[in-house]
Copies of this chain bind each other. A is one copy, B any other.
Amino acid sequence: MDILRYPARGVWSTLISRALASQASQVTDVVSAIMDDVALRGDTALREYEERFTGAHAESLAVGKDEIERAASLISVELRDAIESAARNIAAFHSAEMPLPVEVETAPGVVCMQRPVAIERVGLYIPGGNSPLFSTVLMLAVPAKIAGCPDIELCTPADADGSIHPAILYAAKVAGVDRIFRTGGAQAIAAMTFGTATVPRVDKIFGPGNRYVMEAKQQAALHGCAIDMPAGPSEVLVVADDSADPVFVASDFLSQAEHGPDSQSILLTTSPRLIDCLPAIIDEMLSRLPRRDMMMKSLGHSRLILMHDDAEMMEFSNLYAPEHLILNHRDADRLCTMVRNAGSVFVGPWSPESAGDYASGTNHTLPTSGYARAYSGVNIDSFMRKITFQKLTREGIAGIAPVVIAMAEAESLDAHALAAKVRTTTY
């Protein structure tokens, strides 16, 4: 961890830099070949890649209803209850986000409307590996269902024995996923982009993954399939004053660090005492946690920064545009009003990032790498389009025709003017 005391503004641009792995062109080429192959050979290619990459010999790509039903009995009652409880909170918050139709008569006889309409078919990607990300199943499928998407597909890789973690299957069932497919990696993204005999082509792909999955999503976007957002390593920025409990701050730092070796944690504080005592507390906590080596890597590009005052901290935070922003500060509510760029904000000492990662109700699919400057996290809008309608009466078009004709002719678009003229004069 770098410790910086009152860094000059001239070095801020360095301090907001991310530990971004530059994308090797080799990844681009490998993914491009997989995309082309799946587009061409469909299910046959999918099965071959699954066997090559995971060792799984999937008899059936589609997961059967019986396998999904059986999942409930394979996880603890406690975990089932937790999944249901988290799903309820996520549903409560995302239901409140639902946009309403808009209708305005902008001029006499000119009624304009905006109506939210759910995307027809969405594809969710859930990575495999040691940590089954069933929480991400909830974060994507619950809002998709609330938005009203009629078709929610999910792809996730099977283990070598062909099975999928039962917590993923149970979360998918609770959230209302329509179909689950046993495929992962770039080939799963390719399948949802182009469609195969088994996996349907979707309109938009959501979800996290490794660099191959991320590259595949970017290529999917160039092939006309929308994606949730660009992605980079996860990050947290903690703003703390001398009221902050160092143990809380340390645990938030480590939560972030365990996301992966590229994760970044930044502390901004006005408290010299906090800076001084934090490293020892983190070291002690680290010694008791299993993923120690990976966390050490992540902490290697983390920063503890001492600053003059709240205004300076919030200015830096807005420049950094963190995915997660924790305001562990006695005036946290006031600082909230100064937030311009962030993904999700955790207000006050009792709001750890892990609350939002799982159960508070907000979404944990958030913009990293400074994308919060222009992107929102996943929310109900992510699963809808807002279609506009306009209905003019005969008087309505007569009223605005002079405006349409003047502007169209000044833009040299005479047929545009004509379409207004034929409706308002005898042609």
Contacts and interface: CB of A to CB of B under 8 A. Distances in A.
A117 interface: yes
Contacts of A85: 400, 403
A344 B388 contact: yes
A254 interface: yes
Nearest to A204: B374
Given A89-B106, A376-B385, A341 B120 contact: yes
A5 to B, nearest CB: 26
A110 B361 contact: yes
Given A226-B374, A410-B132, A412-B130, A387 B343 contact: yes
A345 B407 contact: no
A344 B387 contact: yes
Tell me the number of copies of this protein.
Answer: 2
B218 A416 contact: no
5 smallest CB-CB distances across A and B, nearest first, come from A226-B374, A106-B361, A347-B391, A82-B406, A254-B415
B106 A354 contact: no
A350 B404 contact: no
A422 B288 CA distance: 14
A369 interface: yes
Interface string A402-427: 11101110111111111111110001
A106 B359 CA distance: 9
Contacts of A422: 247-248, 251
Contacts of A387: 339, 342-345, 372, 376
A427 B412 CA distance: 73
A21 interface: no
A224 B370 contact: yes
A78 to B, nearest CB: 5
Interface of A: 75, 78-79, 81-83, 85-86, 88-89, 92-93, 96-97, 99, 102-104, 106-107, 110, 112, 114, 117, 119-120, 130-135, 167, 203-204, 218, 221-222, 224-226, 230, 247-248, 251-252, 254-255, 257-259, 285, 289-291, 295, 332-333, 336, 339-363, 369-377, 379, 381, 384-394, 396-397, 400, 402-404, 406-408, 410-423, 427
Given A350-B397, A356-B390, A402 B82 contact: yes
Contacts of A385: 341, 372, 374-376
Contacts of A204: 374
Contact of A79 (B372, B410, B416): B410
Contacts of A218: 222
Given A285-B418, A352-B420, A376-B387, 5 more contacts: A106-B360, A107-B359, A133-B411, A255-B413, A259-B413
Contacts of A388: 343-345, 356, 362-363, 377, 379
B360 A400 contact: yes
B89 A97 contact: no
Nearest to A383: B374
A353 B106 contact: no
